[in-house]
Chains A and B, each alone.
Chain A
Amino acid sequence: MSDAAGKRPADPARRTTLKVLGASLGAAAFARAAAPLTEWSGELSVAEFLQKHYRELTPDEMKAVLARIEEETQRKTGVAVSVSDLRPQPGVKFGYALNLSICIGCRRCAEACHQENNHDRASHNSYIRVLEMTQGSLDMEKGNATYQHPVPQPGHYYMPVQCQQCDNAPCVKVCPVEATWKEKDGVVVVDYNWCIGCRYCEAACPYHARRFNWHAPQVPAEEINPNQGYLSNRLRPKGVVEKCHFCLHRTRAGRLPACLEACPTGARVFGNLLDPNSEIRWVLQNKRVFVLKEELGTQPSFFYFFDE
């Protein structure tokens, strides 16, 4: 080869050798780059890969999707679960209000969410972060979410923050694939089968309400909540974003959210904003309510108030 390098015109053998070498390198690089795809597709069924967007599925197709998810969950975890797809009720728009005067910061709401929604046990994930706030400040960015001392502490109040279900939701606007959207009853939902994991929504949310699944949530089989919803608490795959969905697998069946049932003080008020006789409407009419980061124009469906 060293002799050939000095000769002119170029040796055809040298040219062929370089071509073969280049093609081999290219093929090897492509195989290497595609490796995550081939490995990942091992877990992905053809049916799941070809599944249409949630809002394009016919009722029959949805039924098949739910049956497939139930079957896959049974196969992977050994747990028989029921995955439902409850739709928004006509005449219902959900609202939530939280009384900061009586919240004691016990985190039982976050714990109930952790269990209800099949969150990853190791990271102790929850859609709710309870912020320990200094009295006199309303800046949630200064709140402490990791306190581990008896509560309530003098000089502090406690502000649980979860998805505010904004009417003008920044997270929905930034999604490049329409994997997240606002439903008619006000709940901002995520289709875990459509999310590509770009995390734009997580960055866009001013309330830090979205979570990314760096790995598939690990939940012991005996602790899996079998009452699951397609858009809510079914077991999420790796690499998708999730968020509070107002427990829609419960609330669309008329039940109270898990976080409210866990609250020992009654600081949480949930109901239908369109029903003038509802508890949530009484709060909005009789308490001095405010929303977080009102200046951003997100128009939350989640309200906070103090008693006096």
Chain B
Amino acid sequence: MVDRRWSRHVLALLLVGVGGACGGAAATPAAPSTSTSRGALHAVEIRAHPGLGRLDGTVEDVRGAPAGVRCNTCHTSWVTGAPARRPQELDEFHEDMIFRHGNLACASCHDPDNHERVRLASGETFPLSETMALCAQCHGPQHRDYRNGSHGGMSGYWDLTRGPRVRNHCVNCHDPHAPAWDQVLPAPPPRDRFLTSSHREGAHHE
């Protein structure tokens, strides 16, 4: 279930800068604090939703670089012919897009009548900034953990009486179209003498 009170907070506080540039680093004030017992608290900000992305597709611009096309360039009015119902039906500009998010259809999340909005299972529609509530209707445990500070990267102050905190939005890490993380290369390992392979056989200094 979606926590309505939480949703409204996010809606109210994330509204700024939604239609702005893709990948903007600006953070907007958001989120009720998890603690109110210690007097005036600094804000917990959630990074703004980057908005609709660009498609670096197969088309090249005059300089030979991949032509980046903002989704809205075509999708402001949704008049590009019969809308695809499932990602698999997409072609032309959408060829490079990767869809690995269960068996969702486009309209499972997007409002088919207004591409700038998302639609909850209840039929209620919200601006893209409200994506977190949309995610939460299926990913309740993750949303619960997020609200309680144990999911998602953050920086700033643990002690909100002394300074603010900035938190990642779901979509900062999870591409809504392919949310699972790929493998990554780790940072270099330590090189101290007990951790070299010859010592590791003994396994006493791991």
Q: Which residues of A contact B (CB under 8 A)?
A: 97, 99, 102, 104-108, 110-111, 122-126, 129-131, 140-148, 150-153, 208, 211, 251, 253-256, 260-261, 263-266, 269-272, 275-279, 282-283, 286-287, 307
Contact B162 A253, beta carbon cutoff 8 Å: yes
| Among candidates B36, B165, B206, residue contacting A145 with C-beta atoms closer than 8 Å | B206
Contact A124 B38, beta carbon cutoff 8 Å: no
The docked-state distance in angstroms from the alpha carbon of A275 to that of B154 is 20
Closest 9 CB pairs of A and B: A279-B149, A254-B162, A254-B159, A150-B183, A277-B35, A107-B187, A111-B187, A266-B152, A261-B155
Contact A269 B206, beta carbon cutoff 8 Å: no
Chain B, 2-37, CB within 8 A of any chain A CB? 34-37
Contact A141 B159, beta carbon cutoff 8 Å: no
The tally of residues in B whose CB lies under 8 Å from a CB in A reads 45
Question: Distance (Å) between the CB of A14 and the closest chain B CB?
Answer: 53
Contact A141 B36, beta carbon cutoff 8 Å: no
Please give, as numbers and ranges, the residues of chain B lying within 8 Å of A146 by CB-CB distance: 189-190, 195-197, 200
Residue of B nearest to A266 (CB): B152
Please give, as numbers and ranges, the residues of chain B lying within 8 Å of A253 by CB-CB distance: 162
B26-64 interface code vs A (CB 8 A; 1 in, 0 out)? 000000001111100000000000000000000000000
Contact B206 A256, beta carbon cutoff 8 Å: no
What are 29 A-B contacts defined by CB distance under 8 Å?
A: A104-B184, A107-B187, A107-B188, A108-B187, A126-B190, A129-B190, A129-B195, A129-B206, A131-B206, A142-B206, A145-B206, A146-B190, A147-B189, A150-B185, A151-B186, A211-B192, A254-B158, A255-B158, A256-B157, A263-B153, A264-B153, A266-B154, A275-B38, A277-B35, A278-B35, A279-B34, A279-B148, A282-B150, A287-B150
The docked-state distance in angstroms from the alpha carbon of A286 to that of B148 is 10
Please give, as numbers and ranges, the residues of chain A lying within 8 Å of B157 by CB-CB distance: 254-256
User: Is the contact region of chain A dominated by helix, strand, or loop, or is it mixed?
Assistant: loop
| Among candidates A153, A261, A269, residue contacting B150 with C-beta atoms closer than 8 Å | A269
Question: Distance (Å) between the CB of A114 and the closest chain B CB?
Answer: 8
Q: Which residues of B contact A (CB under 8 A)?
A: 34-38, 141, 145-146, 148-159, 161-163, 165, 168, 173, 181, 183-192, 195-197, 200, 203-206
Question: Distance (Å) between the CB of B126 and the closest chain A CB?
Answer: 24
**Contacts A140-B206, A151-B184, A269-B150; A145 near B189 (Cβ below 8 A):** yes
Please give, as numbers and ranges, the residues of chain B lying within 8 Å of A286 by CB-CB distance: 148
The docked-state distance in angstroms from the alpha carbon of A132 to that of B202 is 16
Please give, as numbers and ranges, the residues of chain A lying within 8 Å of B163 by CB-CB distance: 254-255
Question: Distance (Å) between the CB of B196 and the closest chain A CB?
Answer: 8
Question: Distance (Å) between the CB of B201 and the closest chain A CB?
Answer: 12
Contact A254 B161, beta carbon cutoff 8 Å: yes
Please give, as numbers and ranges, the residues of chain A lying within 8 Å of B36 by CB-CB distance: 277
The docked-state distance in angstroms from the alpha carbon of A104 to that of B183 is 8
Question: Distance (Å) between the CB of A308 and the closest chain B CB?
Answer: 8
Contact B35 A264, beta carbon cutoff 8 Å: no
Contact B186 A124, beta carbon cutoff 8 Å: no
Question: Distance (Å) between the CB of B148 and the closest chain A CB?
Answer: 4
The docked-state distance in angstroms from the alpha carbon of A307 to that of B203 is 28
Contact B183 A208, beta carbon cutoff 8 Å: no
The docked-state distance in angstroms from the alpha carbon of A218 to that of B156 is 29
Please give, as numbers and ranges, the residues of chain B lying within 8 Å of A261 by CB-CB distance: 153-156
The docked-state distance in angstroms from the alpha carbon of A106 to that of B204 is 23
Contact B205 A107, beta carbon cutoff 8 Å: no
Question: Distance (Å) between the CB of A305 and the closest chain B CB?
Answer: 9
Contact A97 B197, beta carbon cutoff 8 Å: no
Contact A148 B186, beta carbon cutoff 8 Å: yes
Please give, as numbers and ranges, the residues of chain B lying within 8 Å of A104 by CB-CB distance: 181, 184
Please give, as numbers and ranges, the residues of chain B lying within 8 Å of A275 by CB-CB distance: 35, 37-38
**Contacts A275-B35, A278-B35; A266 near B186 (Cβ below 8 A):** no
Contact B148 A307, beta carbon cutoff 8 Å: no
Residue of A nearest to B182 (CB): A150
Contact B158 A282, beta carbon cutoff 8 Å: no
The docked-state distance in angstroms from the alpha carbon of A18 to that of B94 is 98
Q: Which of A99, A145, A263 counts the most B-chain CB atoms under 10 A from its CB?
A: A145
Please give, as numbers and ranges, the residues of chain A lying within 8 Å of B146 by CB-CB distance: 266
The docked-state distance in angstroms from the alpha carbon of A102 to that of B12 is 30
**Contacts A99-B150, A146-B189, A266-B153; A141 near B168 (Cβ below 8 A):** no
**Contacts A254-B158, A278-B35; A266 near B150 (Cβ below 8 A):** yes
